[in-house]
Amino acid sequence: MTRVISPDRLAVRGLVGTVVLVLVVLAALNINRLPLIGNSDVLHVQFAEAGGLKGGDAVMISGAQVGRVRAVQLDGQHVVADIVLTDGDVVLGKGTEARIITITLLGRAAVELEPRGGGELRAGDSIPLERTSSPYNLTSTLNELTETTADIDKAQLAAALDQASTTLNASSPDLGPALDGITALSRAVSSNDDELRSLVAHADNVTGVLASRDQQIASLLGSGRSLLSELDARQEVVVSLLKSARSLSTELRALLEDTDDVLGPALDELDGVVDVLNRNKKDLQDTIYGLRGYATAFGEAISSGPWFDAYIQNLTAPGTLAPILSGVIP
């Protein structure tokens, strides 16, 4: 029995086949732009070591997956990971950094990108070794630990532990009081917790005040530095002044020693004159006070005419004239 296909269904099949052929041709022409297949979206990331990274691992930004690792291959002294971004909204700057992270307890690795800088990384660009970091591989680290522990000299380790045990036993009488002192100190700190909090709070306040006065403190320190600079500049002047003062002291001491015979009697005479003046202080004051009236009357007498007469009592007395005549008549 021959099955007859209606013209409508034939037209639909022909249309679908044509669309499929067109899509295949377009895919073939743009194969390099297809995700996970083409090379147009591939970024090359250089790492110092693979760190357990392999093809198919995730590429993440801030914990969100934005692509996958296509391949990991050795390139000289470092490893190059080809990554493909599947999120078209992601924009990576020219300074983007990359690192290999572990996302599972079993050691599953992933590449974490940290977009940085301006511009944009294009397909085919590379992130150099200077902007990448690789973690330690847990398995290789454990293997290295196993190898290292296997190389340990067990006899020497046992001897060292015996020596440490002997030392601790010998120091046990002192170790106990030391631990008791540490315990007492811990209790004292714990019992004064409120005081310590208050002290820290006050210290924080002091720090705040100092921070708010930083310009004044800087100005004070600058003034102090200027003062010290000026004192340093005046150092020679001060030293010269001190030398001159020492020389003056030496000369005065020598002068006093040379004139001691003269200055001594002179000072004694001066003391006698001062004593006489002190004893006659009242009489001198009365004389000066009475001289005021005499001088006033004498002035009026002088101003009364072209000539005047004056009389000083006791001026002609022999006792008064004797000192004058003794100085005039040889």
Which residue has tokens 């000026």? Answer: 230
The number of distinct structural domains making up the chain is 3
Tokens of 82: 């080809």
CB 116 within 8 A of CB 93: yes
234 and 311 share a domain? no
Distances in whole angstroms, Cα of residue 34 to Cα of each of 26, 55, 111, 238: 11, 17, 21, 89
120 and 64 share a domain? yes
Distance CA 138, CA 107 (A): 7
76 within some domain? yes
Distance CA 207, CA 194 (A): 20
16 within some domain? no
Domain that holds residue 270: 208-279
102 and 41 share a domain? yes
pLDDT given for residue 262 in this prediction = 75
DSSP 226-244: HHHHHHHHTHHHHHHHHHH
- Quick count: other Cβ atoms within 10 Å of Cβ 40? 15
62: left (phi over 0), alpha (psi -120 to 50) or beta: left
What's the one-letter identity of residue 51?
A: G
2 within some domain? no
Among 89, 107, 141, where does a domain finish?
141
Distance CA 50, CA 172 (A): 51
Among 141, 171, 199, where does a domain finish?
141
Distance CA 104, CA 100 (A): 13
DSSP 32-87: GGSTTTSSTTEEEEEESS-TT--TT-EEEETTEEEEEEEEEEEETTEEEEEEEE--
* pLDDT (tens place) for every residue of the chain, 330 residues total: 555 566 667 667 777 777 777 787 776 655 545 554 544 478 899 998 888 888 889 999 988 999 999 999 988 888 999 999 888 888 888 899 999 988 887 778 899 999 988 888 888 888 999 999 887 655 566 667 777 777 787 778 778 887 887 777 776 677 677 777 788 877 777 777 778 888 888 887 888 787 788 788 888 878 878 877 777 777 778 778 888 888 888 888 887 777 777 777 777 788 888 888 788 878 777 777 777 776 777 676 666 666 666 666 665 666 665 665 555 555
What's the one-letter identity of residue 113?
A: L
14 within some domain? no
Distance CA 127, CA 46 (A): 6
155 within some domain? no
233 and 297 share a domain? no
264 and 303 share a domain? no
137 and 234 share a domain? no
Distance CA 101, CA 65 (A): 13
Among 141, 156, 191, where does a domain finish?
141
51 and 136 share a domain? yes
Distance CA 261, CA 258 (A): 8
98 and 76 share a domain? yes
39 and 57 share a domain? yes
pTM over 0.75, yes/no: no
269 and 286 share a domain? no
238 and 214 share a domain? yes
CB 57 within 8 A of CB 113: no
Distance CA 164, CA 172 (A): 12
126 and 42 share a domain? yes
Burial 150-171 (b: 16+ CB within 10 A, else e): eeeeeeeeeeeeeeeeeeeeee
158 within some domain? no
170 within some domain? no
